[in-house]
């Protein structure tokens, strides 16, 4: 804060920077005290610039993940095995579009426009969850996305319902309710295949679990000691539980579910540790994670080009909506 104020020395009156520093310091102290007290911060409240930027980064990445996350599943809408599964899948994908909209709206309250956020996605400057850069090769992948990917998402997102930034926290409450349905439908689809299916269907489920397990663990982000954003995000109550702790909670919750399902998790080092009261698990291949995050995963190019195409194909809709809004405004003015 002081450094910023000193940068303006000479450009403003001598008192101005000092006064602003004192004021900012006070605002900062008040903000810190509110965070310490567990208060929620609203859009119109004063906040440090870095807090604002961190939230825009995380919420917009989260929004992008929701809409890019529609693509791998969208691949299976026309090939769902029954009408019931098709209807469920369509509802889930539609929910994800809705989650994206809540989240873009929450990010917009921080003063960044939706066009700016989407431009960052389309030009490859913004990230979205690594998990959506993997292909959906069989119908079992749709079930496994529900069980593991939505399961990991819930584990990560429930604590965000208590995020210090109120518009994000409010959006997350509704999102989490829907994610819970998403996870259950995936588990249910897998359970039916495992318990009532053929050997080939069971093998298909196992193959999907083998391919999605490790990328699901990577969703929680790098290990705590390699997570540059964690310290401040935890300090500010944006993140409530660390990447590693959430990953551990996910593993602990998922192992018994795999047992009920009758699938093997593809990790020979996975075993209960009585002393820790947690499951130990094998080493994650972080080089794969960084490669995918860096844009070089199995489907990065396909996902991005699908989003850019959707944006370009939708240009006439945006144009028509603007013309219609202008027409209505003109009519209202004439009628007034
Ligand atoms: N993928 O310092 P760190 C869904 C980046 S959607 C890509 O730990 P942070 C669903 C990270 O951004 C699920 N990048 O970061 C939808 C950072 O880079 P930058 C999406 C990742 O932010 C449809 C760098 O690595 N959920 O559930 O403190 C269908 C260092 O990481 C990833 C959310 O977005 C990753 N997996 O923690 C089905 C939840 N992990 O930005 C399901 C909200 C890390 O500095 N987000 N990076 O360039 C979060 O909770 C946090 O942002 C993260 C990362 C835990 C993801």
pLDDT tens per residue, the chain (336 residues)? 222 232 333 333 444 444 568 888 999 999 999 999 999 999 999 999 999 999 999 999 999 999 999 999 999 999 999 999 999 999 999 999 999 999 999 999 999 999 999 999 999 999 999 999 999 999 999 999 999 999 999 999 999 999 999 999 999 999 999 999 999 999 999 999 999 999 999 999 999 999 999 999 999 999 999 999 999 999 999 999 999 999 999 999 999 999 999 999 999 999 999 999 999 999 999 999 999 999 999 999 999 999 999 999 999 999 999 999 999 999 999 998
Please tell me if the CB atom of residue 62 comes closer than 6 angstroms to any atom of ligand 1. yes
| Residue to mutate (ligand 1; options 66, 143, 229; most atoms within 8 A of CB) | 229
What φ, ψ does residue 10 adopt, rounded to 5°?
A: 95, -25
Q: Say how far residue 255 (Cα) sits from the centre of its chain.
A: 23
- How many Å apart are CA 274 and CA 115, to the nearest integer? 51
Strand, helix or coil for residue 120: helix
Task: State residue 162 phi and psi, 5-degree precision.
Answer: -110, 20
Cα 235 to ligand 1 centre (Å): 17
User: With a 6 A CB cut-off, is 136 part of the ligand 1 pocket?
Assistant: no
Cα 160 to Cα 289: distance, rounded to the nearest angstrom: 23
């Amino acid at each position: 804060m002081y450094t910023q104020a000193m940068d303006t020395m000479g450009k403003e009156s001598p008192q101005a920077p000092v006064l602003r520093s004192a004021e900012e310091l006070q605002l900062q102290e008040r903000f810190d005290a509110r965070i310490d007290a567990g208060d929620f911060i609203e859009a119109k409240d004063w906040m440090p610039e870095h807090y604002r930027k961190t939230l825009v980064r995380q919420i917009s990445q989260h929004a992008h993940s929701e809409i890019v996350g529609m693509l791998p599943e969208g691949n299976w809408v026309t090939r769902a095995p029954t009408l019931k599964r098709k209807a469920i899948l369509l509802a889930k994908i539609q929910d994800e579009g809705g989650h994206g909209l809540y989240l873009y709206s929450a990010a917009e309250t921080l003063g960044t426009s939706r066009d700016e956020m989407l431009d960052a996605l389309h030009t490859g400057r913004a990230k979205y969850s690594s998990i959506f850069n993997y292909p959906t090769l069989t119908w079992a992948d749709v079930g496994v996305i529900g069980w593991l990917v939505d399961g990991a998402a819930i584990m990560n997102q429930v604590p965000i319902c208590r995020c210090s930034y109120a518009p994000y926290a409010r959006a997350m409450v509704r999102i989490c309710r829907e994610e819970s349905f998403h996870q259950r439908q995936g588990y249910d689809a897998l359970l039916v295949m495992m318990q009532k299916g053929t050997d080939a269907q069971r093998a298909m489920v196992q193959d999907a679990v083998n391919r999605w397990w490790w990328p699901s663990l990577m969703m929680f982000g790098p290990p705590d000691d390699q997570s540059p954003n964690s310290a401040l995000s935890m300090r500010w109550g944006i993140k409530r539980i660390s990447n590693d702790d959430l990953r551990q909670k996910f593993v602990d919750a998922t192992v018994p579910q795999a047992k009920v399902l009758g699938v093997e998790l593809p990790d020979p080092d996975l075993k209960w540790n009585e002393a820790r009261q947690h499951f130990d698990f094998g080493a994650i291949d972080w080089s794969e994670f960084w490669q995918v995050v860096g844009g070089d995963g199995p489907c990065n190019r396909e996902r991005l080009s699908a989003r850019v195409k959707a944006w370009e194909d939708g240009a006439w809709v945006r144009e028509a909506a603007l013309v219609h809004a202008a027409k209505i405004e003109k009519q209202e003015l004439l009628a007034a």
